[in-house]
Amino acid sequence: MNTSTPALPDDGLQEFHRLHLKREKKQRLQVFSVQMALLLLFFAFWELAGRLKWIDVLLFSYPSKVFAQIGKDAISGELWQHLGITVGETVVGFVLGTLFGTLLAVLIWWSPFLSKVLDPYMVVFNSMPKVALGPIFIVMFGAGFLSITVTTLSITVIVTTLVVYNSFCEVDTNLIKVVRVFGGTRTQVFRKVILPASFPTIISTLKVNVGMAWVGVIVGEFLVAKSGLGYLIIYGFQVFNFTLVMSSLLIIAVVATGMYQLVVYAERKLLNHRR
């Protein structure tokens, strides 16, 4: 019997791995640098176009005015109230939409009969403009947080269900057959094959739902809210304060990007943990 100690990776392999990581880090830094340069170039051109009247400043404003508006609202405290309400509604819609959508996908995978019954209804509901459904939700749930949340769920739940369910259906059938051959139950098939194989898709769906949740919340606030970033946009249009509109859109972009990056970070950690 050979009892020798397994050889450690040689220095050449370790050096190759180190260089590979170094190249990846350098590439990420280059990508980030180019992204920041493009963003700064965009703001610089926007500022110049506004100052030189190349664009209609009444409609498009320009960065210095937009940042001044954000600073004024932040100092007065008005911004934080509207931002807190919108972010809270978005987080609730994001979490519940992902949870309910995944559970519904599991349910219709579990029951092929139910899947056949619900499939055309889900496709039709997903194709319907949610703005048109907004007034119905307002009448049903009142003009407030609940109707905005339901509007958000009407977007996130169906999208999550369709994506996750399709992922369940695309799992390699040979893996399922192996579990069946060894006497595995439907529960064991789901736990041992379907769920692990679909886990990356479920995590990736979180990234899609960040955008969908923001769309649902802003649409809901357009219709019923008396506070929130969506309300500020509508109010800005009503009083022809387009600087307020642009500042609200910029804040939405920044906060939505931050939420997306948090989800990307969580996805990376979860997937690395499973390896």
Same domain, 132 and 171: yes
Q: For residue 119, is it within any domain?
A: yes
Same domain, 203 and 100: yes
Q: 104: which residues sit within 8 A by CB, 6+ positions away?
A: 157, 160, 161
Same domain, 44 and 180: no
Q: How many domains does the chain have?
A: 2
Residues of the chain with pLDDT > 90, as a percent, come to 28
Same domain, 115 and 240: yes
Same domain, 206 and 112: yes
Same domain, 113 and 36: no
Same domain, 51 and 152: no
12 falls in which pLDDT band (50, 70, 90)? low
| Structural domain of 48 | 12-55
Same domain, 226 and 92: yes
CATH of the domain at 212: 1.10.3720.10
214 burial (CB, 10 Å; 0-12 / 13-18 / 19+) is buried
Same domain, 46 and 109: no
Same domain, 40 and 68: no
| Among the listed residues 115, 148, 151, the one whose alpha carbon sits nearest the alpha carbon of residue 130 | 151
Q: 272: which residues sit within 8 A by CB, 6+ positions away?
A: none
Q: For residue 1, is it within any domain?
A: no
Predicted local confidence at residue 56, as pLDDT: 86
Same domain, 247 and 164: yes
pLDDT at 5 over 70: no
State pLDDT tens for residues 62-89.
899 999 999 999 998 888 999 999 999 9
State pLDDT tens for residues 90-100.
999 999 999 99
Q: For residue 26, is it within any domain?
A: yes
State pLDDT tens for residues 155-179.
889 889 988 998 888 888 888 888 8
CB 216 within 8 A of CB 91: no
Q: For residue 255, is it within any domain?
A: yes
Same domain, 249 and 185: yes
